[in-house]
């Protein structure tokens, strides 16, 4: 019996814009069902790394695989939540419809949505607590409710890899708990999660932590990375952890 291939692999990866690296020397592997937390200050390269994993920008150098293939080549298997999803408000589209757009990667141009597609959307709506405002226009919702809606959209994709950029931003404590339960459930069914966050508490359950500060400060198990020295090097203080 052979071991399952890692869900995310980065080998001496450099990420950035226009061929210029923001961060380089990033190497880690995340197994199916595993979690990597990207932690660092503003502008440290967390979002740039996630966009590279999502295939939105090309890697500057090094190797990277997501769900066993080059980034961006398997959209149905990889879900991505941007730091602040840019939703147009010209059409007051309902929250439930925003969630259902998460299935478009699997449906493509031609496939009709089946009862299974609809069931996954309904399940995501329930899991992220979107049900009470599912029929309301997105533009009428609070920032936290919009974030729950977009998290439900990411869950509705039923991806093998979830790339989440500051997923708990704007969520209240109840929302954070709901999100943590959803991530635990996704990991239990084999989904790998890569998550950028400012909250050191989010890293507790991670397999790998990547601590960034415009460079790689440390990569490894949370207990090895979240030390006072590393946090001081990254943030300038040790934080509450």
Tokens standing for 180? 């943590």
Site string for other proteins, 103-122 (x = CB under 8 A): -xx-xxx-------------
Q: Does residue number 166 form part of the binding site for other proteins (CB under 8 A)?
A: yes
The two tokens of residue 64 are 């990277």
Sign, CA dihedral 174-119-187-154, equals negative
Using rule CB under 8 A, residue 90 touches other proteins: yes
* Partner residues linked to 17 by β-bridges: 20
The residue from 4, 12, 17, 204 that contacts other proteins (CB under 8 A) is 17
- Choose the binding region for other proteins from 80-88, 122-130, 179-187, 218-226 (rule: CB under 8 A): 80-88
Q: Does 70 contact other proteins by CB under 8 A?
A: no
What is the DSSP secondary structure assignment for residue 171, as one 8-state letter?
-
**Selected range binding other proteins among 30-38, 135-143, 175-183, 227-235, rule: CB under 8 A:** 135-143
User: Does the footprint of other proteins cover residue 33 (CB under 8 A)?
Assistant: no
Based on the number of CB atoms within 10 Å of its own CB, is 49 exposed (0-12), middle (13-18) or buried (19 or more)?
Answer: buried
Give the pair of three-digit tokens for residue 22. Answer: 């923001």
Which residue lies nearer to other proteins by CB, 103 or 230? 103
Minimum Å distance from CB 227 to other proteins? Answer: 25
Which residues, 6+ apart, have CB-to-CB distance to 1 below 8 Å?
none
Size of residue set near other proteins by CB under 8 A:
47
Beta bridge partners of 36: 194, 208
Q: Is 214 in the site for other proteins (CB under 8 A)?
A: no
Q: Which listed range, 31-39, 89-97, 122-130, 220-228, lies at the site for other proteins (CB under 8 A)?
A: 89-97
Residues 6+ apart with CB under 8 A from 26: 10, 12, 13, 14, 15, 49, 62, 210, 216, 219
- Least separation, in Å, of the C-beta of 17 and other proteins? 6
H or E element, residue 23: strand 20-30
Which parts of this chain interact with other proteins (CB under 8 A)?
17-18, 42-43, 47, 51, 54-57, 72, 75-76, 78-80, 82-94, 97-98, 101, 104-105, 107-109, 137, 139-140, 142-143, 146, 153, 166, 169-170
């Amino acid at each position: 019996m052979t071991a399952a291939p890692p869900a995310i692999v980065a080998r001496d990866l450099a990420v950035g814009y226009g061929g210029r690296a923001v961060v380089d020397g990033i190497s880690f592997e995340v197994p199916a069902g595993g979690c990597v937390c990207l932690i660092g200050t503003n502008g440290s390269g967390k979002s740039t790394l996630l966009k590279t994993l999502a295939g939105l920008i090309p890697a500057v150098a090094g190797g990277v695989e997501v769900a066993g293939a080059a980034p961006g080549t398997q959209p149905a298997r990889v879900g991505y939540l941007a730091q602040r999803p840019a939703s147009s408000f010209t059409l007051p589209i309902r929250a439930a419809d925003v969630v259902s757009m998460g299935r478009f990667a699997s449906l493509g141009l031609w496939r009709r949505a089946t009862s299974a597609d609809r069931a996954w959307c309904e399940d995501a709506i329930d899991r992220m607590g979107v049900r009470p405002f599912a029929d309301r226009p997105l533009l009428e919702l609070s920032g936290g409710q919009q974030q729950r809606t977009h998290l439900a959209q990411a869950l509705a994709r039923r991806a093998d890899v979830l790339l989440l950029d500051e997923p708990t931003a704007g969520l209240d404590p109840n929302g954070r708990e709901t999100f943590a339960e959803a991530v635990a459930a996704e990991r239990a069914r084999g989904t790998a999660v890569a998550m950028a966050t400012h909250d050191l508490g989010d890293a507790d359950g991670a397999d790998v932590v990547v601590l960034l500060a415009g460079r790689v400060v440390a990569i490894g198990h949370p207990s090895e990375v979240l030390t006072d020295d590393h946090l001081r090097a990254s943030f300038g203080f040790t934080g509450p952890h």
